[in-house]
Amino acid sequence: MKKLSNGLPLGVDPVSRFLTLKVGLLVLLATLSLAVGMVMSSVAESLQRSLSGTLTVQVPAGLEQQSATESIIEILRATPNIRDVREIPDREINEALEPWLGAQAPILDLPLPALVDVAIESGQTVDIQVLTKKLSAVAPGTVVEEHSMWLGRLMDITNTVETVSMSVMLLVLISVVITVVFSTRTWMAVNREAVEVLHLIGAHDSYIAHQFQKHTFWLWSVGAAGGFALGTSFVLLIQFYIGRLSDSFLLDLTLGDIQWAALCLLPATAIIIVIATVGFTVKSVMRSFM
Amino acid sequence: MKKLSNGLPLGVDPVSRFLTLKVGLLVLLATLSLAVGMVMSSVAESLQRSLSGTLTVQVPAGLEQQSATESIIEILRATPNIRDVREIPDREINEALEPWLGAQAPILDLPLPALVDVAIESGQTVDIQVLTKKLSAVAPGTVVEEHSMWLGRLMDITNTVETVSMSVMLLVLISVVITVVFSTRTWMAVNREAVEVLHLIGAHDSYIAHQFQKHTFWLWSVGAAGGFALGTSFVLLIQFYIGRLSDSFLLDLTLGDIQWAALCLLPATAIIIVIATVGFTVKSVMRSFM
Amino acid sequence: MGNLTKKDLLVAAVGDVFRFEGVSMRYRLGPEVLHDISFALPAGSFHFLTGPSGAGKSSLMRLMYLAHRPYRGSIAMFGRDVSSLPRQELATFRRRIGVVFQDFRLLEHLTALENVALPLRISGAKEVQIRDQVAELLSWVGLGEQINAKPSTLSGGEQQRVAIARAVIARPQVLLADEPTGNVDGMIATRLMHLFEELNKIGTTIVVATHNEALLERFPHSRIRIENGVLVGPRDIFDTSAETVQS
Amino acid sequence: MGNLTKKDLLVAAVGDVFRFEGVSMRYRLGPEVLHDISFALPAGSFHFLTGPSGAGKSSLMRLMYLAHRPYRGSIAMFGRDVSSLPRQELATFRRRIGVVFQDFRLLEHLTALENVALPLRISGAKEVQIRDQVAELLSWVGLGEQINAKPSTLSGGEQQRVAIARAVIARPQVLLADEPTGNVDGMIATRLMHLFEELNKIGTTIVVATHNEALLERFPHSRIRIENGVLVGPRDIFDTSAETVQS
Ligand SMILES: Nc1ncnc2c1ncn2[C@@H]1O[C@H](COP(=O)(O)OP(=O)(O)OP(=O)(O)O)[C@@H](O)[C@H]1O
Ligand SMILES: Nc1ncnc2c1ncn2[C@@H]1O[C@H](COP(=O)(O)OP(=O)(O)OP(=O)(O)O)[C@@H](O)[C@H]1O
Ligand SMILES: [Mg+2]
Ligand SMILES: [Mg+2]
């Protein structure tokens, strides 16, 4: 025997289905922005840790490049505040150039500059101009590139992306609340008759709120599950793609376990917010009845 | 004195306002995708015109680069099916390398390969492998790059983007129709009582359709105008930005006059489609009444 | 044939307003709610439609105001077979009928004035003309002060009177009133019946479905009785082969 | 004091069900539609509420079923001042009242059975118990075959009977019926009045607003008459300072 209806017209009408879609979209957005935000947060951290205080010295190609490079390395080792000096092997340079000059770079045998990585003692600085002058005296044309400046820019970008992502997520959560308030109020206005009759025959506000919460719970669960599944699939796909693109990729763009846990909490949190908002909205509308 | 209502509850309710927003979004999307599609179409055309059938020959750096290059140019001139041969001056090469090696490229004085542009008679082809062999005999290490292959890829991409953009626009127009049918039907279901009463007291189907069309016209005009304004502003902004980025940009990414005219026809077309759809939908629903 | 009234002339000119022959009716795939109904109503006649609750009075009226097609049988209106009429003409026929629905069917978002004005607007009348005419009729039914009230702010009887005003405003040739006095007191009911009789005098054919026994006693018009979807009562009124009988 | 009936005992225990003192009412910022109303209805009494259309009968009932607050004056129900009751208790009080609304107010998306079952569901009754009880009552009012019909597929009188069934299903202590027989024939009206009298015998206080003069004549209960928002009629019934009068 069919169950008796509880009194409110809460069927799966086109409007509800549309809402489910919208919910899915919102949760998808929230999932993606949270994922991006968290990745950026860890990228910024690891950047901070691993790259701060580094310089790159370029020794131009020439007949005495090898010996010039050796002298320069010695000078660098003697310079105060420098923690570590390392010549970058040709193989690495060719690899780095490959995306720009193509696989033919080694064949063309371009006379590339020698590159020297320099790590500065943390918290200390080195005067680039003085250093350039000193090194140029040994090997004219030597260039000192300030990785930390480049890093600064990268950090700026990373931080911006992180802030933007987290703001987007917050905005999405806020629009979840607005959507819920709006759709609940619209629904109650459209079905004012039914709500009023239930009220007049003695239904408590919580009876009405509870029915609507149950309905909304299903509506949102389906939408949120869909959006979340889509969002995480997308994140996984991108991680996989990045992973294949380059094992030696500069930055680690994958999510850690804790971050995955945080991501999984998102839809649950959204639904809790929704249910609370529905209850609050219904009850506040009901207070306009005697 | 206030005008008497015509009989249908077509006020500016929240649902209508929401619809206006949605309309704006759809028209914005359509505008952008049409603009991108049209730009890509002309890019593909000009690519086709200006770049088809070209080769680039790289003569490696070395002591006799200059004379080797000259011999190679002569050989090329003598090769059948070749229309034009031109050595690319160093300045151009340095410019082209600048984005990759930085402004210091000329200072580093890299021993760059000499580059020779080769134009093939239209409709004809040249066997790259045979040519490479012949040229390598004169200057070992000479590489022949098939621009047309690279161009082919670029063309592929351009064509894909064009197809995708135009499909998106079509999809948007289809979802405009779906949205209209859906919202009209929903509205008529919600207000079935009012529609039925009008019908029973002798209103023609067109009377009811016309009222709804008038209402929809305003709703959509506002939305479409907003979305179109936003879309064109965006297009203008991007054009301006690209214009500033590089005067010597390889491809012309601006819209021509006719394309602007086509763009301006978009919202008008959308509204005409909408009005026709509304009329059709209302009348088809009305036919379910006796 | 000494004193021909306007009404007599109309009857002669138009003949039967309704002629039902062997009509059955069902809602969708439900059971038949009207069985083999045959009768003819001459133009300018006045009838009460009576019968127990659920007998089929409102359903019969739905057929008469062209809201529903018969399942079997044929209905002729103003001498034309209804089933053969194109949509455009159906609308024109509907404008010649005024209906008081049992549940009023006022449009909630419109004022009393706008509700009553609807039939005139639909037939394209000018707004200035409408306003005075409607206001006058509303005062006449005792709603002079409530012309700008929405239906939801009117009492049951007030809503019923708005519904009646809407049905008669365009001086229809036929008036179908379904339980039009169920929510008003005896005095107003009498007044409304007098309004119907006035309309009837100028030629309007009138059918009033009612349970109100006081009304039936005080106004001795012809009665059509329906029970369980079947017409019962004096044979002459319902014999479509004979000449139609007048009230 | 020989034969105390169950009803007498109840009246003695509960006292007045309603006690209005100097009550005025207005809708929002509109004019007062009820002026200075004072009366008391003892438990177990039976009253007709009469008066012309638009007099304020339904408005008075709105106050009684706690849908509206008085603008001035005080209302006591079951001996408690209504204006001081918290929301939770208001709902409990409403469950002790059954209401037949003038416009029925059936929920369109529910079947007749589900509509009638609502008051039981709200008070948390089990589904199996409900079903039989509701089906039985619906057959009793003549709707045994239509228990699964939606209100929109019922005739006017059938809808009215569903509304009445919903009002009485939970055996309320008070029954307020607003024009409950406006759409049914005389036989059913009598049957429904007998139902109300049965309820009254087991202690339910009953107020029936009606225009139906035949009913008023056949059932000689106390009458409360309201005209233009003011109570008129025998002073004794409405004198709240005196002991309340029984029907
Ligand atoms: N829309 C509908 N769909 C299905 N059945 C319907 C519909 N409307 C009415 N009925 C059924 O048709 C029968 C006749 O209904 P109708 O409304 O014609 O009765 P009535 O004579 O007007 O009764 P009342 O005096 O109560 O208004 C009833 O049994 C009713 O349940
Ligand atoms: N919701 C409302 N808002 C404003 N005014 C209202 C509202 N409901 C009723 N009124 C007005 O209050 C007055 C009394 O209405 P009420 O419904 O109490 O009359 P009634 O005695 O029940 O009449 P009837 O016999 O016609 O049902 C009427 O003038 C009516 O227009
Ligand atoms: Mg009926
Ligand atoms: Mg009333």
DSSP per-residue string spanning B49-90: HHHTTEEEEEEPPSTTHHHHHHHHHHHHHHSTTEEEEEEEPH
User: CB of A58 within 8 A of CB of A44?
Assistant: no
- Average pLDDT (A121-148) is 79
Least confident of A33-42, B3-12, D149-158: B3-12
**Which residue from D90, D118, D127 is facing A201, i.e. has the nearest CB?**
D118
* Residues with a beta carbon under 5 angstroms from ion ligand 4: C 155-156; D 58, 102
> Rg of chain D's alpha carbons, rounded to an integer?
18
What value does the mean pLDDT take over residues D17-41?
94
Average pLDDT score over residue span B263-278: 92
3-class secondary structure, A274: helix
Least confident of A143-152, A166-175, B265-274, C116-125: A143-152
CA torsion through residues A249, A250, A251, A252, sign: positive
pLDDT at A3 (0 to 100): 65
Please give the structure tokens belonging to residue A224. Answer: 């949120």
Q: What is the pLDDT of residue B2?
A: 59
CA of D203 to the centre of ligand 4 (A): 26
Q: What is the pLDDT of residue B55?
A: 79
Is the pLDDT at B105 greater than 80, yes or no?
A: no
Q: Which residues of chain D neighbour C187 with C-beta distances below 8 Å? A: 52
Task: Tell me the per-residue pLDDT of B234-258, one tens digit each, with 9 for 90 and over.
Answer: 888 888 877 765 544 455 677 888 8
Residue B245 to residue B221: CA distance in whole angstroms: 35
Higher pLDDT, A25 or C205: C205
Indicate the pLDDT class of residue C235, thresholds 50, 70 and 90.
very low
pLDDT in tens, C16-61: 899 999 999 999 989 999 999 999 999 999 999 999 999 999 999 9
Helices A14-51/B147-190 angle, 10° precision: 140
CA distance B272 to B263: 15
Nearest-Cα residue of chain D relative to residue C55: D155
Degrees, nearest 5: CA angle D221-D222-D224: 130
Asked if the model's pLDDT at residue C234 lies above 60, the reply is: no
Rounded mean pLDDT, B140-169: 76
Range of lowest pLDDT (A257-261, B32-36, B249-253, C55-59): B249-253
Residue C75: both structure tokens together? 């209905």
Pairwise pLDDT comparison (B63 vs D170), residue with the higher score: D170
Q: pLDDT-derived band of residue B156, with 50, 70 and 90 as boundaries? A: confident
% chain D with pLDDT above 70: 88
**Range with the poorest average pLDDT among A75-79, B150-154, D239-243:** D239-243
Q: Give the pLDDT score at B248.
A: 42
> What single-letter DSSP state applies at residue B159?
H
- pLDDT, mean of residues A59-69: 80
Between the CA of C53 and the centroid of ligand 3 the distance, in Å, is 7
Q: What percent of chain D has pLDDT over 90?
A: 72
CA–CA gap between residue C91 and residue C66 (Å, rounded): 9
Does the pLDDT of residue C13 top 80, yes or no? no
Question: What pLDDT band is residue C247 in, cutting at 50, 70 and 90?
Answer: very low
Residue C39 three-state SS: strand
Domain ranges of chain B: 14-48+152-289, 61-141
In this prediction, residues A197-206 reach a mean pLDDT of 93
A100/B100 Cβ within 8 A: yes
User: Which stretch of A139-143, B177-181, C182-186 has the lowest confidence by average pLDDT?
Assistant: A139-143
Structure tokens at C196: 């119907």
pLDDT digits (tens, 9 = 90+) for D142-151: 999 999 999 9
Does residue D241 carry a pLDDT above 60? no
Residue bearing the bigger pLDDT, A79 or D159: D159
The per-residue pLDDT for A160 is 82
Q: How many CB atoms lie within 10 A of CB C242?
A: 11
Confidence of residue D244 (pLDDT cuts 50, 70, 90): very low
Chain D residue numbers touching A4 (CB-CB < 8 A): 113-114, 117, 121, 127, 130-131
What's the pLDDT band for B160 if we cut at 50, 70, 90?
A: confident
Residue C1: pLDDT band by 50, 70, 90 thresholds? Answer: very low
The answer to whether residues B271 and B220 touch, using CB atoms and an 8 Å cutoff, is: yes
Q: How far is the CA of D150 from the centre of ligand 4 (A)?
A: 25
Helix (H), strand (E), coil (C) string for D50-83: ECCCCCCHHHHHHHHCCCCCCCEEEEEECCEEHH
Q: Judge: D91–A5 Cβ closer than 8 Å, yes or no.
A: no
Taking residues C103-126, report their average pLDDT: 92
Of A200-209, B8-17, D73-82, the poorest mean pLDDT is in: B8-17
D131 vs A contacts (CB less than 8 Å) = 1, 4
Contact C53 D214 (CB under 8 A): no
Q: What is the mean pLDDT of residues A149-173?
A: 78
The proportion of chain A whose per-residue pLDDT surpasses 70, expressed as a percent, equals 79
pLDDT recorded at residue B152: 64
* Contacting subunits of A (3+ beta carbon pairs below 8 A): B, D
Look over chain C and give the mean of its residue pLDDT values, rounded to a whole number: 88
Chains in contact with B, where contact means 3 or more Cβ–Cβ distances below 8 Å, are A, C
Residue C152 DSSP label: G
Residue D222: per-residue pLDDT: 92
pLDDT attached to residue D147: 94
* Nearest alpha carbon to residue A254 among A239, A232, A238: A239
From the CB of D59, is ligand 2 less than 6 Å away? yes
Lowest mean pLDDT among B243-257, C50-64, D41-55, D78-92: B243-257
pLDDT, position B95: 65
Q: Does D195 touch chain A if contact means CB atoms closer than 8 Å?
A: no
Predicted pLDDT of residue B4: 64
Which of A134-138, B177-181, D226-230 shows the highest mean pLDDT? D226-230
B158 — pLDDT class (breaks 50, 70, 90): confident
Q: Residue B15 — very low, low, confident or very high, per pLDDT cuts 50/70/90?
A: low
